Chains A and B, each alone.
Chain A
Amino acid sequence: MKESDRGMFENEWESAFEGAEMAPSETVWSKIEVEVANNEGKNYKRSLLFFKLLAAASVSFAMSIGGWQLYENYYNQGNLFEVTADQESDNSSQPEVDTKEKQPLIAQEKESVSKRNERSVPSSKSNDNEGLGLDETTDKEGKSTEKETSANQTLLAVNESGLNDDVTDSDNSVAINNAAFTAQNETSSPNRMEHMGVDFFEVNGELVEPKMVPWLSNIPSGKSDDFKGLWAGVGMSAGSFNNNNSSSSSLAQGILNSDAGQASSLDVANDESNGNAYSFGLNVGTQISKRFVLMSGLNYVQQSNTSSSNIVALNTEGFSAVNRSASLSSEESYAYTDSYKISNTYELLSVPLQAGYILLDRKFNILLLSGVSNDIFLRQKITDESGRAQSVENNGSDNGYSTYSLSGLIGSEFSYDVGESYMLSLQPQLRQTINSFTPEGSRPTYFEVGFKFKYIIK
């Protein structure tokens, strides 16, 4: 610091001020004190603003989840009523069926209905109604869902005990019971809504509490004025989907009905469960204005879920798994088996195109995103989990699958700037299939959370 040309002049001045002190006026400290207090208030306000924005983002996120849940519940109810209605029409329109074949199927069907009712009215488990007759159940029509569940249990007990002599009577009772079940379902739907409200929802046959919004803490609030022109990155996401199966096994029934001697009410794998989906790929984006961004990319998507089936496709090498009614072909032979569990895996290529509104543009950023995803169907694989039936793979447009499908996307992105050139982001997103790639036309709703690592190019 000191230069060599410093001489006596500089040294004299330096020493003249060494240890020199003057008392400032009293007002100086008062002003400092007031200013420091004001700054503390400003910092508090800044934190408050941040938490307000965070709360707003959380609320919008929670509303998305809530909307999705309501949507899911609505469709689940729709499916339940549809199954009941189908069953009712089957019973009334075809009274003379092979009762020996139908008996266990009805029992199976009633069992699933009974289980559903047990789930929706847990207290029915404690009822000991095994001694009650079927007529008694009919008499109590319209009283409560609990009674109806008891009646189903009685029916099951009768069927399981192998009282085939009473099959005709039992069938009549089943028809009556179905009517009672339908009526009670209609009357008890408001109660069901109470049970299946926002506090709990059904996933894979279990009542599950909804996941809460994760708490984000320690978020720096340093302002970043960088205008991110273009970025590219890699990302992955994982989530779950609801199949929204509103279609029944019409094609299967059509094919099977045409086969003389086959039961029309065979249930062919229409209980496909909700599943999991994950994806990974490349993404690019650009900030087109101060508040708007455009994002795209290329992702490989894999979806998988499980379902049960009771038919197999016969071929020269043995038999292969069949998962859904729509995958049945009139050119192949099918056989009925015991119920078995199958896993379905779908593979797709996805090209999303999203526009985003920058809600918060700081070191921590919040984006609201909306757009579409162009999905190209690659293949579907059906595997018997027990390994007895052969796996089946459907590629491209085989078996009625559409190569192209479109999905709507809505979500948000929480990103954090790492240095000047990198970003880490978390992207919760809701994806609704608009036109399905599956032949049966199921339009799944996905909820997924993505993680992205981005490099800001300029």
Chain B
Amino acid sequence: MDSEKALIQGCIKGDRKAQKQLYDQFAGRMLVVAMRYSKSDLEAEDIIQEAFIKIFEKIKTFREEARLGFWIKRIVVNTALNHQRSKLYMFPMVDVQELNNISDGDFSLSNYHFKELLAFIKELPSGCQIIFNLYAIEGYSHQEIAKMLDISIGTSKSQYFRAKELLKARIGQEEQKSYERVR
């Protein structure tokens, strides 16, 4: 904890070594977060770059009662959302018919590596991708998502159910392929 304080103090003073240390500590995890919101590795790296510049600028505002990792993740997510905003504008989200909430049953992703799952997420339409990440992985409520993206709660829900349907279908396809390969 003291070392984290020293690291933060170093970053506040603009000490490049401290900044690099902070980057090394969090960049790997944050890159995965950025990749979930982007369509390509290059775009994810741009998000990371922009997010860390913001982090070094704003670190003096960091309150110690918050977890540093959580604070950094929020900046990365917000940066990713800003990146996607133009796409959201180009492809405005419309309400889709809410699907019946199909039971998840014995749904499991234990056979999948996170990189495979990342690939599935990237295949989602932009709106669905963002709302899926925010709801399913980040854990935001539809109300919070609606506020963050300036959309209605209904839009958030319908987009999420669509994402869920698409992902389930995609995973179903993969399972079908695996089954056929085994046969």
A contact residues vs B (CB 8 Å cutoff)? 1-3, 5-10, 12-17, 19-25, 27-29, 31-33, 35-36, 39-40
Q: A1-B139, A33-B19 are in contact. List 11 more A-B contacts (CB 8 A).
A: A1-B140, A1-B141, A10-B135, A13-B137, A19-B29, A21-B29, A23-B27, A23-B31, A28-B45, A28-B48, A32-B56
* A33 cross-chain contacts in B, Cβ below 8 A: 16, 19-20
Binds A, one of B2-10, B87-95, B100-108: B100-108
Which one of A5, A9, A10, A32 lies within 8 Å of B52 (CB-CB)? A32
Q: Given that A9-B164, A29-B20, A32-B49 are known contacts, is A23 also in contact with B56, CB under 8 Å in the complex?
A: no
Contact indicator B117/A17 (Cβ below 8 Å): yes
Q: Could you pull out 17 A-B pairs where Cβ atoms are within 8 angstroms? A: A3-B141, A8-B104, A8-B107, A9-B136, A12-B108, A12-B109, A12-B110, A20-B32, A21-B29, A22-B31, A23-B31, A24-B31, A28-B27, A29-B27, A33-B19, A35-B53, A40-B14
Contact indicator B27/A10 (Cβ below 8 Å): no
* B20 cross-chain contacts in A, Cβ below 8 A: 29, 33
Verify if B112 is at the interface (C-beta below 8 Å from A). yes
How many whole Å from A31's CB to the nearest CB in chain B?
5
Residue of B nearest to A3 (CB): B141
**What's the Cα separation between A4 and B24 when bound, in Å?**
36
**What's the Cα separation between A10 and B163 when bound, in Å?**
12
Which one of B32, B56, B142 lies within 8 Å of A36 (CB-CB)? B56
- What does DSSP make chain B's interface, helix, strand, loop or mixed? helix
Verify if B174 is at the interface (C-beta below 8 Å from A). no
**What's the Cα separation between A7 and B31 when bound, in Å?**
26
Verify if B36 is at the interface (C-beta below 8 Å from A). yes
* A28 cross-chain contacts in B, Cβ below 8 A: 27, 45, 48-49
* B27 cross-chain contacts in A, Cβ below 8 A: 23-24, 28-29
B contact residues vs A (CB 8 Å cutoff)? 14, 16, 19-20, 23, 27-29, 31-32, 35-36, 45, 48-49, 52-53, 56-57, 101, 104-110, 112, 114-115, 117, 135-137, 139-142, 144, 164, 168
Contact indicator B141/A35 (Cβ below 8 Å): no
Which one of B16, B53, B106, B114 lies within 8 Å of A20 (CB-CB)? B114
How many whole Å from A401's CB to the nearest CB in chain B?
61
* B115 cross-chain contacts in A, Cβ below 8 A: 22
**What's the Cα separation between A97 and B137 when bound, in Å?**
111
* A3 cross-chain contacts in B, Cβ below 8 A: 141-142
Which one of B29, B106, B114, B136 lies within 8 Å of A10 (CB-CB)? B136
Contact indicator B45/A25 (Cβ below 8 Å): yes
Contact indicator B48/A17 (Cβ below 8 Å): no
- What does DSSP make chain A's interface, helix, strand, loop or mixed? helix
Contact indicator A13/B117 (Cβ below 8 Å): yes
Contact indicator B32/A21 (Cβ below 8 Å): yes
**What's the Cα separation between A36 and B56 when bound, in Å?**
8
Residue of B nearest to A37 (CB): B16
Residue of B nearest to A35 (CB): B53
Most buried by B among A8, A12, A13, A40: A13
Residue of A nearest to B142 (CB): A3
**What's the Cα separation between A147 and B106 when bound, in Å?**
116
Residue of B nearest to A27 (CB): B45
Q: Given that A35-B49, A36-B53 are known contacts, is A17 also in contact with B32, CB under 8 Å in the complex?
A: yes
**What's the Cα separation between A15 and B136 when bound, in Å?**
10
How many whole Å from A220's CB to the nearest CB in chain B?
14
**What's the Cα separation between A172 and B36 when bound, in Å?**
108
**What's the Cα separation between A458 and B93 when bound, in Å?**
38
**What's the Cα separation between A376 and B164 when bound, in Å?**
81
* B57 cross-chain contacts in A, Cβ below 8 A: 39
Which one of A2, A5, A17, A32 lies within 8 Å of B101 (CB-CB)? A5
Contact indicator A14/B136 (Cβ below 8 Å): yes
Contact indicator A39/B28 (Cβ below 8 Å): no
Contact indicator A36/B19 (Cβ below 8 Å): yes
Residue of B nearest to A9 (CB): B104
* B19 cross-chain contacts in A, Cβ below 8 A: 33, 36
How many whole Å from B163's CB to the nearest CB in chain A?
10
Residue of A nearest to B52 (CB): A32
* A6 cross-chain contacts in B, Cβ below 8 A: 136, 139
Which one of A20, A36, A39 lies within 8 Å of B29 (CB-CB)? A20
Contact indicator B114/A16 (Cβ below 8 Å): yes
How many whole Å from B71's CB to the nearest CB in chain A?
16
How many whole Å from B65's CB to the nearest CB in chain A?
17
Q: Given that A2-B141, A3-B142, A35-B49 are known contacts, is A21 also in contact with B108, CB under 8 Å in the complex?
A: no
Q: Given that A12-B108, A20-B29 are known contacts, is A1 also in contact with B144, CB under 8 Å in the complex?
A: yes
Contact indicator A13/B23 (Cβ below 8 Å): no
Residue of A nearest to B135 (CB): A10
* A24 cross-chain contacts in B, Cβ below 8 A: 27-28, 31, 45, 48
**What's the Cα separation between A9 and B164 when bound, in Å?**
8
* B135 cross-chain contacts in A, Cβ below 8 A: 10
Residue of A nearest to B55 (CB): A32
Most buried by B among A12, A20, A21: A20
Q: Given that A16-B114, A36-B19 are known contacts, is A31 also in contact with B142, CB under 8 Å in the complex?
A: no
How many whole Å from A113's CB to the nearest CB in chain B?
66
Q: Given that A28-B45, A32-B53 are known contacts, is A22 also in contact with B107, CB under 8 Å in the complex?
A: no
How many whole Å from A450's CB to the nearest CB in chain B?
36
Contact indicator A22/B35 (Cβ below 8 Å): yes
How many whole Å from B128's CB to the nearest CB in chain A?
13
How many whole Å from A294's CB to the nearest CB in chain B?
39
Residue of A nearest to B42 (CB): A25
Residue of B nearest to A2 (CB): B139
Q: Given that A22-B28, A22-B32 are known contacts, is A9 also in contact with B53, CB under 8 Å in the complex?
A: no
